[in-house]
Amino acid sequence: FCMSWILLILFTGPTVSGSLVKGKVGQNITVPCFYSVKTTWDITSMCWGRGSCPVSKCYQTIIWTDGWRVTEQHNSRYMLKGNLPMGDVSLTIVNAEEADSGIYCCRVEISGWFNDQTSNYKVVIEKARTSTASPHTYTSEQTSAPGSASKSSFTTTRTWPSVSASEAPRTASGPCSSTSDCLDVTSKLQNVSVSLPSHQYSENGLYIGIGLCVVLLAILILALFLT
């Protein structure tokens, strides 16, 4: 009896079909599913579920319908917008998300043992492509001839006076003709920016030291007087 039951399932079991349905995040995706309705007696119940169709019913049920209207709905984003009495039980996923990707089962319950019509669908929800602007290249420094004017409001034109290497150090962004020139510029900048503050800090420290000595001496004399 058990062997006959297994063979019955294998050879006269439910009809299983499968197809791929693709969509983008944020779109409304329709997973098609239909069954034949010739008379009102053919209208029957059905369900949608996540995962492959089992032997009966649906796993992780999404929607149940009695053939005329939806009787059970577990997520408001999953709808049946087709004409149910005409056999259109296609599933519509509203505002699709990446988490909606996976296998879906459409089971139409037909009277009789193992006569249910089942369809498995693989749904793939992909991220919408975002257009990236091409990088904007521009010149931070431009030297123009005297008397010329800039034609675009987005381009900054700078005119630098001609200064010889012996008169002033070059800016940090300007190229060095040789390694010795770069070392020269660095040493000049350090002499200008570091030596003056250090001299000022030494004078301030001397004044603070003298003041502290005077205060300590006054405290010592007062202590001796009180003693």
Spans of all domains in the chain? 18-126
Beta bridge partners of 30: 92
pLDDT tens, residue by residue, 135-148? 444 444 444 444 44
CA–CA separation, 126 vs 22, rounded Å? 8
For residue 169, the 8-state DSSP code is P
The correct CATH number of 18-126 out of 3.40.50.10420, 2.60.40.10, 3.40.50.2300, 2.30.110.10 is 2.60.40.10
The answer to whether 132 touches 138, Cβ cutoff 8 Å, is no
CA end-to-end distance (rounded Å), the chain: 118
Confidence grade of residue 177 (pLDDT, cut at 50, 70, 90): low
Single-letter residue type at 219: I
CA–CA separation, 58 vs 78, rounded Å? 15
What are the backbone angles phi and psi of residue 54, rounded to the nearest 5°?
Answer: -80, -170
Short-list 49, 96, 40, 48, CA closest to 68: 40
Sheet holding 29-31, edge to edge: 29-31, 91-93, 78-79
Query: Degrees (nearest 5) of the Cα angle 42, 31, 66?
Result: 30
Average pLDDT over residues 162-177: 46
What pLDDT, on a 0 to 100 scale, did the predictor assign at position 212?
A: 84
For the entire predicted model, the pTM comes to 0.51
- Asked whether the predicted pLDDT for residue 43 surpasses 60, the reply is yes
